[in-house]
Amino acid sequence: MPQHERGAVLVTGASSGIGYATALRLAQHGIVFAGVRGTPDAEKLARAGGPSLRPLILDVTDAASIERARAAVAAAGTRLDGIVNNAGIALAGPLEVLPAAELRRQFDVNFFGPLALAQAFLPLLRAQGGRIVNVSSIGGKLAAPFAGAYASSKFALEAASDALRVELRGLVHVAIVEPGAVKTPIWRRGAQESTRIFEAAPEALRAPYATAVRAMLQIAQTLEHRGIAPERVARAIEHALYARRPRARYLVGTDARLRLAVARLPEGVRDRIVAAVIGLPRRPAAARS
């Protein structure tokens, strides 16, 4: 879309990483309402993005916060071209060990939050033929062990996006972006929180997993350092928002393509590959002689 024809966009999770890069990129061409959790992040974005970037304090798990954001966007008097559901958290750890409350929190941010935001803003988007971009992950196609909570939330987001795309066909386009490893702080922050949760579990519960969990967290942090720049994902998001013929799905990064290929393998082959990467036993204990 020509720059002079662009309206406003709402981007959640704009404090850092993909959301930050996306907000700055889109602010070069039009108004961006950038959702952040606190005033310091809002001030940092405002300085970096100029007058087109308008920070909003937004908690996607809080219905009242979403309504305040909707009212602020509606009152701005500008056309809403799209929303980018990018806010997310990543908790790692064995599913046996993670408390139910932490599992629900993972889904509250990564799944229920994007759906609540879509419901709130669909009247504005439908009026203008706008677009929804849901930022998922290749983890929504291939669940890594000890990242099961995160992957489950992204699998759910993938399913909801597929359903919404058809339900809103001809009215609002829905796209999903699936990056591989990205240089963002999400896994570093998640590792700190995940370690705290894991170490709070009873020793007997966490002992069988200790070595594998440490290996998985190390792999995640290594991938973060080697990951693609968040600006690459921002470009894909921009295409999904403004291309004349947007795609339904954007796979971003070479490792994302490799992991998708692994996800399509027979389960037995796939499990052996994934286990080998993390250093898990080749066979379940009961099957070993």
The catalytic residues are 150
Query: What is the total residue count of the chain?
Result: 289
| d(C-alpha 45, C-alpha 207), whole Å | 43
78 and 7 in contact (C-beta within 8 Å)? Answer: yes
Q: Which of 45, 132, 44 is nearest to 80 (CA)?
A: 132
Q: Which of 112, 183, 187 is nearest to 152 (CA)?
A: 112
Q: How many CB atoms lie under 10 A from the CB of residue 50?
A: 11
| d(C-alpha 256, C-alpha 48), whole Å | 30
User: Which pair of structure tokens corresponds to residue 112?
Assistant: 């229920």
User: Which pair of structure tokens corresponds to residue 170?
Assistant: 């001809």
